[in-house]
Amino acid sequence: MSEQKRLSEGDPAPDFSLPDSTGKQVSLSDYRGRTVVVYFYPAAGTPGCTKQACDFRDNLAELNDAGFDVLGISPDKPAKLARFAADERLNFPLLSDENRAVLAEWGAFGEKQSYGRTITGVIRSTFVVDPDGKIAKAMYNVRATGHVAKLRKDISV
């Protein structure tokens, strides 16, 4: 596999401004002064992505109480994100990166292994961005199931 960009602890988090499920622009800089979990997932409505999103939904109160906001980003169009959010009663912003530029900048799009084959696609990844806009935690190739529980353990929530 070719070398692709990866973010590490201490790196500045690349800023972005993306439309949410309602079409409203949301920027990472809107969260400056707060800690935010930014997670990248392949496709709204698929089994793994639904499981992961519902895990964030079900743990959001505890994450918020501990000072963590959550943003989900995928290459889906805002209308698909709106249906996904409504169907699953998701209570945090889902952002659309249709051209995959933000995914690539964060190292969450590129070559990956899928069923023994090398393919190009979204690399399921999660980042914790500190109040100063720096990467506090970078996790690539995370599993959809059990990931939020592991994240909570890692960040002591």
pLDDT the model gives residue 119: 78
- Say if strands 25-27 and 35-40 run parallel, antiparallel, or are unpaired: unpaired
Residue 142 has pLDDT above 80, yes or no: yes
Q: Which residue is associated with the tokens 């889902």?
A: 94
Instruction: Using a cut of 0.85, tell me whether the model's pTM lies above it.
Output: yes
Distance, first Cα to last Cα, the chain? 35
| pLDDT per residue as tens digits for the range 119-137 | 788 999 999 999 999 999 9
Model pLDDT, residue 103: 96
- pLDDT attached to residue 117: 83
Whether the CA torsion 64, 124, 97, 128 is positive or negative: it is positive
70-123: per-residue pLDDT in tens? Answer: 999 999 999 999 999 999 999 999 999 999 999 999 999 988 877 788 878 899
- What type of residue is 67? G
pLDDT tens profile 22-77? 999 999 999 999 999 999 999 999 999 999 999 999 999 999 999 999 999 999 99
Could you please state the CATH topology (level 3) that the domain comprising 17-154 is classified under.
Answer: Glutaredoxin (3.40.30)
The partner residues of 36 in beta bridges, in order of sequence, read: 69, 129
Q: Examine the pLDDT at 144 and tell me if it is beyond 80.
A: yes
Provide the 8-state DSSP code for 28: G
Q: Which tokens hold the place of 119?
A: 């393919």
Residues with a known catalytic role? 49
Q: What ranges do the domains of the chain cover? A: 17-154
CA 83 to chain centre: 18
Q: Which of these, 91, 54, 49, 57, lies nearest to 73 by C-alpha position?
A: 49
